[in-house]
Structure 1
Amino acid sequence: MYSAIVFLPLIGFLIAGLFGRAIGAKASEYITSGLVIIAAILSWVAFFSVGYGETALYQIQIMRWITAGALDVSWSIRVDTLTVVMLVVVNSVSALVHVYSIGYMHHDPHRPRFFAYLSLFTFAMLSLVTSDNLLQMFFGWEGVGLASYLLIGFWYQKPSANAAAIKAFVVNRVGDFGFALGIFGVFFLFDSIDMSTIFANAPALAGEHAEVMTFLGHQLDPHGALTVVCLLLFMGAMGKSAQFLLHTWLPDAMEGPTPVSALIHAATMVTAGVFMVARLSPLFELSHTALTVVTFFGATTAFFAATVGLVQNDIKRVIAYSTCSQLGYMFVALGVGAYGVGIFHLFTHAFFKALLFLCAGSVIHAVSDEQDMRKMGGLRKHIPFTYWTMMIGTLALTGVGLPLTSIGFAGFISKDAIIEAAYAGHNSFAIYGFWLTVIAAALTSFYSWRLTFMTFHGKPRAPVDVMSHVHESPWVMLVPLLLLSVGAALAGMVFKGVFIGEAFEEFWKGAIFLGPDNHIMHAMHEVPGWVKVSPFVMMLGGFLVAYQFYVRSPESPKRLAERHSGLYQFLLNKWYFDELYDFLFVRPAMWVGRKLWKKGDGTIIDGFGPDGVAARVQNVTTWVVKLQTGYLYHYAFAMLIGVAALITWSMFTGAGTGGGAH
């Protein structure tokens, strides 16, 4: 069963990719979608059989892969609770995206290629989450990077899509470089990259010899070596999960088709970093410094992305920055040691964020591919099904529920748990994480309701010809919205007990680090009442401000932006990170490249090398050619000169005189 879950999408990719033109677009759609749906159903079977069963771990060897000295790598499937949670997330969202795409991409002439890419992406992500060693994880890690490049740049005729794909690929390579170094470091410390071996030997590492690793010229003790390795691994997570400083690729990735946005940004690629840190939690737990850094970057990302989302006008970019912010929440939970809470939010977030992206796609489909919310408005009565499903997604994202109870939408249950865990955390940035996530809750509520009010309420701002053609999406697109709405509404309440409630130990069964006494999991339930109520108050405040600005007084945002134009431009330009990176990295790299091209390659290498030699030969031959005049008296004169020169040489050297002394 587990092999089928992993390899069915690969089969779909091969069929659609190799034979898509022969079998046609319809067959490619149905085959790839059908295989991923089967994988999704099997994933739910695995979820209940492993998560609610008694067996903690299955290891299924597919083949021997690499054997070189101490390095012995097999391609194996590691199945535990963390794996089956990710299988459900990846395959469920992917299956719904496949089905949704049948309607959304109906007019695209390259559908076989699109569906092949979707299935390739799914297979790469499944390889990542089922990996039993770090090399296999790196294979899946790079696979999703490749597939995301292909999907973001799917409409390759658009220069903006190509630029966004390249940007995503390059920025992720920065993080992946750190990830690769981290894997090398793990192998240096443990002589293995096998998960079970690493987890078994990690606690005993502190008892090794005093100096175990040299990094950047510094001798590191075992604790320092572990810290460096964990930070390098986290660098990979920062790139893949678009954390602060390595986040710039995520909003630009909106250039891909909307189903791609849902697949990449909702539940799969961007959660790979969260999964990796949770999977390696027994390693991260040994480095307090590394967890502190994770907390800092998670909290900063949650706040930063939420501030930028306040003023974005592209409907997909607002949701993209929301994804970035919610990933920050997940890393805050991981940083304070509440790994189950972080994965719980990953699980619930997949449903409501995929729902929001696909609803945005339904809106774009309805208004003739327009994405600017300033040109929408008044769509509530025209596309009611999309409106109400997006409302459910918004209620889940903003965290609507009954305070001090376990009754509420998915985000209310999981996001509030992260805030409580941050308050109960003990590292030096835990309170920093608490306050920034609380503030981000207010910002999240504001930009989420702003999106809903600008898109669906008020007077229509679209041209009359566009409004006359507004229509609801076909059922092949609406059914996935309905199913995701169920998850967005109920996933938090249904699964809270096993993920972070009283039954969490029996559910996780050691798949993530829970600590000797599960301190953080118990302490988060005992925080003061004002801590538990604070995210609800922030959510309500954000809603009221958005209602005032975009329903009661739609002119207020414009006046406020004019009054604080500097702050508005700062947020609108995303804290000027793109401009800063352009100044610090892109322009110097272009300058160096141009100099190496023009001066180094053109002037020096070519000038003194092939081109220089060729030019000298040409000069000499040109001069020699000029000697060949074709006139007889020139040749006779040259012969006389030659004879005279020969006689002169003979006279001075004594040649031909008999030479001997008498």
Structure 2
Amino acid sequence: MDALLLPLIVACPLLAAGVLFLSAGRMPPLPSCVIGAGSVGLSALMAVVLAIGFLQTPPPTGALHATLWSWMQVEGFSARIAFMLDPLSLVMMLVVTGVGFLILLYACGYMHDDPDIARFFGCMTLFVAAMLVLVFSSDLLSLYIGWEGVGICSYLLIGFWHTDTANVTAARKAFIVTRIGDAAMLCGLLLLATRAGTLDVASVLQTVTTRPADLQAAIAAFLLLGGAVAKSAQVPLQTWLPDAMAGPTPVSALIHAATMVTAGVYLIARLHPLFASIPVAMTAVALIGLITLLLAAGSALVQTDIKRILAYSTMSQIGYMFLALGTGAWQAAIFHLVTHAFFKALLFMAAGAIILRVHHRQDIYQMGGLAHAMPGVFAAFLAGSAALAGLPLLTAGFYSKEMILQGAWHADPMLWAGALLGAFATAIYIFRCVFIVFFGPRHTEPHGRTGAIMAIPLVCLAVLALTGGWMEMPDAIAPVHLLSNLLSPLFGAPMPEGPHWLLWAGSLVPLAGIGVAWMLWQPRTGTRTPPENALARLARAGWDFDTLYDVLIVRPFTTLGQLNQTDICDRLSDATAATARAGGRVFGRMQSGQVRRYAGWIAAGTVVALCLGVRP
């Protein structure tokens, strides 16, 4: 029965997507919401039942398998469509279905008056199905199908409001940048297939552990890292994520906060023996994470669009996960993945509620004084902000970030110092947003109220953002290690905890950041206008990575194309086309419609044929 639930959990949103797409957009809002949110809710219910059964009676092999069919089998290679539930995929399953259901429920209220609501829920449920295929797959080739599935759904949802050219441009940019990583990942998978003769995860990892790492394995690891970097919006392929905020807010909450951008983290964690066997790859993962978390935090400090602040925050927090992976703190990375899904989805959804009530304005400097006008939304946003900042003892973000800091300390104190600086900047930029949006003079008068169907998910996620960290705590606070115990069969024992002063440092730095934010942006004496200097403009533009790529890649490519317009290949094709046109004109003149001329041509042809026939 448990093995049957695995494909059923995927089938529910997949069938819902089929029904919604087949309606060709003619399905009314209520049935669209019921089918969309209901299918994911049913998957979440089955996921809870499956998780309870898995935890109560673990499979003898440590994983539950369900083989659907054999995809291909040739000499030296085989691939299957098969699902696997182990501790890692169990955690991801609960995050994708549980948080996904709350976001789709919220979307029922947010998108209720959109004429294309059926198409919206079709894309959202298809995304959930693709993400579940990604996390369940026990074969890397079928994992790649889910990987590409979430990519195409992301493209469709970012450009959902396609009548706006900016949205289409953002969707195309996300598609192209992530395709770069996808191509690298495919090459890495092909190298692994030639090395192991299969892409079955267990067989690939067994080959890694039994054969010493060589150049081929190292190249494969770096190619897979390229795929993870693009999908998770890490430096240097991070430029697509801020522009992806062009999509509806529920899209940002689901795809670009809670699920898709964590696919790269999941991939590295799933193949952790491969990366652990190549120290230079581990160092690269850690450095990419550290650089991304600092650069993204710096950009978030000066953004004025509330959704772009949260977008850069997502990049920064994924950077923390990469840092944890690169230091071998596997449990810490997955722990932060879970808590980040709670508080970042909450922040995006609260931001969406604010945007709806302030006439779709997103500039934080056009808001202000909203704490009294929308106290419920303020409480939800404050809970998410406290969790993001890592407010000590009270929030889930504190416990997961503290676990990452402990792992960074054991790997290299310089990495720990950089991560601590990122935590300080995180507290500043998110509470800058809180103080400007909810306190001070009111610049826009809000209207309406947040309905219950949007409020219920906010309440649920606020509770999780505050209490979700209780599953894993430092021994100095409480010896609770539920998540580590669950993941230890896969990753081994977690890293030992460092000295107690590390815990104190990790607790005081977020408080110091909140204090700095209060001094700079408090309602009465703080600065209420965005900074305008060269450094602020550079950070607001995402450190001008787009300009750099335009100069180094786009312009040389287009220039080369223009210079190469008349090369030999073009001339051959032009000559072929000219010959065809000339021949067409000649034969066109022969078709005059005059019977006498046709008879003459027949007679002439007959004479020529007779001459050839009687020639000696």
Task: Provide the TM-score with structure 1 as the length reference.
Answer: 0.84
RMSD: 2.4
Shift of 1:576: 0.8
Shift of 1:533: 2.0
- Output the CA distance in 1 between the equivalents of 2:292 and 2:332: 18
* 1:609 counterpart SS class: helix
Contact 1:99/1:477 (<8 A) preserved: yes
Shift of 1:484: 0.6
Q: Partner of 2:32 in structure 1? A: 28
AA of the residue aligned to 2:8: A
- Of 433, 439, 443, the match for 2:415: 433
- Output the CA distance in 2 between the equivalents of 1:558 and 1:508: 47
* Closer, same or farther: CA 344–504 of 1 in aligned 2, 3 Å: closer
Shift of 1:552: 4.9
- Output the CA distance in 1 between the equivalents of 2:47 and 2:588: 76
AA of the residue aligned to 1:103: G
* Closer, same or farther: CA 380–78 of 1 in aligned 2, 3 Å: same
Q: Partner of 2:361 in structure 1? A: 370
Matches within 5 A, 1:474-623: 474-496=451-473, 501-502=480-481, 506-508=485-487, 510-511=489-490, 513-514=491-492, 518=493, 521-523=494-496, 525=497, 527-552=498-523, 556=527, 561-562=531-532, 565-596=533-564, 598-600=565-567, 604-605=571-572, 607-611=574-578, 614=581
Q: Partner of 1:139 in structure 2? A: 145
Matches within 5 A, 1:283-432: 283-401=274-392, 407-425=393-411, 430-432=412-414
Shift of 1:224: 2.6
Which structure has the larger Rg over C-alpha atoms?
1
* Closer, same or farther: CA 181–607 of 1 in aligned 2, 3 Å: closer
Shift of 1:317: 0.4
Find out whether 1:181 has 2:187 as its counterpart. yes
- Of 243, 246, 269, the match for 2:237: 246
Shift of 1:200: 2.2
- Output the CA distance in 2 between the equivalents of 1:87 and 1:497: 26
- Output the CA distance in 2 between the equivalents of 1:370 and 1:550: 20
Shift of 1:531: 2.0
Find out whether 1:471 has 2:448 as its counterpart. yes
Contact 2:29/2:112 (<8 A) preserved: no
Contact 2:158/2:251 (<8 A) preserved: yes
Q: Partner of 1:77 in structure 2? A: 83
Shift of 1:397: 0.5
Contact 1:386/1:472 (<8 A) preserved: no
AA of the residue aligned to 2:403: A
Shift of 1:553: 5.6
Q: Partner of 1:651 in structure 2? A: none
Matches within 5 A, 1:46-57: 46-51=50-55, 53-55=57-59, 56-57=62-63
* 1:170 counterpart SS class: helix
Shift of 1:593: 3.4
Contact 1:408/1:493 (<8 A) preserved: no
Q: Which runs of 5+ in 2 are unaligned?
A: 590-616
Contact 2:471/2:483 (<8 A) preserved: no
* 1:54 counterpart SS class: coil
Q: Partner of 2:443 in structure 1? A: 461
* 1:75 counterpart SS class: strand
- Output the CA distance in 2 between the equivalents of 1:613 and 1:118: 49
Q: Partner of 2:117 in structure 1? A: 111
- Of 25, 41, 44, the match for 1:40: 44
Contact 1:124/1:141 (<8 A) preserved: yes
Q: Deviations over 1:366-420 (max 9, x none)?
A: 111111111111111111111000000011110012xxxxx33000000111011
Q: Partner of 1:640 in structure 2? A: none
- Output the CA distance in 2 between the equivalents of 1:367 and 1:510: 49
- Output the CA distance in 2 between the equivalents of 1:22 and 1:167: 30
- Output the CA distance in 2 between the equivalents of 1:505 and 1:494: 9
Q: Deviations over 1:307-355 (max 9, x none)?
A: 0100000000000100000000001111111111100100111000000
Range with bigger deviation, 178-187 or 122-131: 178-187
Find out whether 1:7 has 2:16 as its counterpart. no
- Output the CA distance in 1 between the equivalents of 2:582 and 2:567: 18
- Output the CA distance in 1 between the equivalents of 2:338 and 2:248: 23
* 1:77 counterpart SS class: strand
* Closer, same or farther: CA 476–620 of 1 in aligned 2, 3 Å: closer
Contact 2:365/2:528 (<8 A) preserved: no
- Output the CA distance in 2 between the equivalents of 1:453 and 1:185: 51
Contact 2:225/2:268 (<8 A) preserved: yes
Contact 2:435/2:521 (<8 A) preserved: yes
Q: Partner of 1:167 in structure 2? A: 173
AA of the residue aligned to 2:458: L
Q: Partner of 2:595 in structure 1? A: none
Q: Partner of 1:236 in structure 2? A: 227
* Closer, same or farther: CA 614–234 of 1 in aligned 2, 3 Å: same
Contact 1:153/1:162 (<8 A) preserved: yes
Q: Partner of 1:279 in structure 2? A: 270
- Output the CA distance in 2 between the equivalents of 1:239 and 1:249: 9
Task: Provide the TM-score with structure 2 as the length reference.
Answer: 0.90
* Closer, same or farther: CA 173–509 of 1 in aligned 2, 3 Å: same
Q: Which runs of 5+ in 1 are unaligned?
A: 207-221, 402-406, 623-662
Q: Deviations over 1:578-614 (max 9, x none)?
A: 1111111122222233444x53599735543313663
Q: Deviations over 1:490-516 (max 9, x none)?
A: 1101355899954556412523x32xx
* 2:515 counterpart SS class: helix
* Closer, same or farther: CA 538–36 of 1 in aligned 2, 3 Å: same
AA of the residue aligned to 1:78: M
- Output the CA distance in 2 between the equivalents of 1:578 and 1:536: 36
Contact 1:238/1:246 (<8 A) preserved: yes
Contact 1:385/1:472 (<8 A) preserved: no
* 2:522 counterpart SS class: helix
* 2:489 counterpart SS class: coil
Contact 1:226/1:286 (<8 A) preserved: no
Contact 1:230/1:283 (<8 A) preserved: yes
Q: Partner of 1:448 in structure 2? A: 430
Q: Partner of 2:248 in structure 1? A: 257
- Output the CA distance in 1 between the equivalents of 2:57 and 2:120: 38
- Output the CA distance in 1 between the equivalents of 2:35 and 2:315: 33
- Output the CA distance in 2 between the equivalents of 1:364 and 1:605: 57
Contact 1:383/1:471 (<8 A) preserved: no
Contact 2:324/2:408 (<8 A) preserved: yes
